[in-house]
Amino acid sequence: MAKFSFSCFCKESQSITGRQDIMKRLIILVLWVVCMLALLVGCSSQENEIGDIDNHTPIALLDDAVVYNYIDDDGALVIGRYVLSSKRQSDIVSVEEFYISSGKPTVIDNSVILPVTLNTNEHKLLMVNADSDTSEMIFSEFNSYPMDAVSVMNTDIYMLSTMKDDVATATYIRKYNENTGDMDICIEKQFTDNTGEQITTFACSNENIYVLVNNMGAENDVYIEIYDDKKYDLLGKLYFDSELRNFVSNNGIVEFYCFDSYIYIRNFSDYGAIGEIENNQIKTFLNLPSLRMAYNGKNTQDNYYGFFVRNGRELYLLDVYSDTLYEINLDLSQDESIRNAISDGNNICISILDERDTESFTTKKTIIVDFNELKEKAYQTK
């Protein structure tokens, strides 16, 4: 009996030991898989980062390059590009006596067009070619009003400017003439202190020009006029709902963009709003403080449009084909937030702010993410 019992005990002990070995192997295998997944996620995140331009501001996302700008120690505006495939960075042009660049840059092929105002009141339209790392000033004039805006339609460049004399102020949209190097007037409006119409901003979309008009003689009424891009005939008007009308009338407009059947608009109080066009009315779709658009200077008709909350962690994707809004909360630490974002219609380039640096507000990292990848992590809000 003793021998039999001893034999049974040995077999049970061997069985337990075997199970323990198997469990150890399984645990090691699981830990190895977890480590490899973590490593892969880490590598994927690192592959999306562009560390070389963290101290610069991305202004345009091209096929294989990010065009950026920054202010150097002498106060000049420097514009350069970072090539994604070769990871090569180069400054292209330095604009001395720089004062302000209020308009968003636009893109034709691999050239970026940017309005620049000098402290001498000289207004320049600067074209930077990211293929050849060259730049040229394609238009220049002296103007007392510092704010310019540009937009493109196919390969045509349009520009909004303001001229003031002793009698009235004229606001006009002009088209750049490649043959003469001049700006040909397309749409013009004049106003005095109390009467007339003012073009406050404009945008090109769907082969039309959308002009935001402030009517001085009608209790500061505001609306959008739509013109064709050939003869500049007035095709119709769009009117804001009450929420957007107050939004536009009371705070002034710093950014305006049209896409598909939507508009994006941001005022000087840094409130951003998305409006949906239905018949001849613009209805509020989303209205949030610090809501910014991931601007696409190519002005193409895209499937997705990106938005973000500046100094927040929220990203929004608007699918214009299904009229669906998605929200994504970026996985950021308490010391990180979104500083800026731009788009090319397929990807979004995001600058992450280091909030611990309260003096210089430096960018901690810059990443590029595919819209489809973001959508997989998003949830529908509208």
Higher pLDDT, 92 or 54: 92
Whole-number Å distance between alpha carbons of 190 and 192? 7
- Residue of 150, 116, 121 lying closest to 136 (CA atoms): 116
Please say if the pLDDT value at position 2 is more than 80: no
- The overall average pLDDT reported for the chain is 86
Lowest mean pLDDT among 45-54, 79-88, 188-197, 335-344: 45-54
Please say if the pLDDT value at position 197 is more than 70: yes
Inter-residue contact 149 to 102 (CB < 8 Å): yes
Residue 133, by phi and psi: left (phi above 0), alpha (psi -120 to 50) or beta? left
Residues in a beta bridge with 171: 162, 189
Q: If pLDDT is split at 50, 70 and 90, which confidence band does 26 have?
A: low
Half-sphere exposure of 311 (CA within 13 A, CB side): 8
The one-letter code for the residue type at 309 is V
Distances (CA, A) of 278 to 126, 175, 206, 369: 37, 29, 15, 32
Q: If pLDDT is split at 50, 70 and 90, which confidence band does 209 have?
A: very high
Q: What is the pLDDT of residues 307-347, one digit of tens each?
A: 999 999 999 999 999 999 999 999 888 889 999 999 999 99
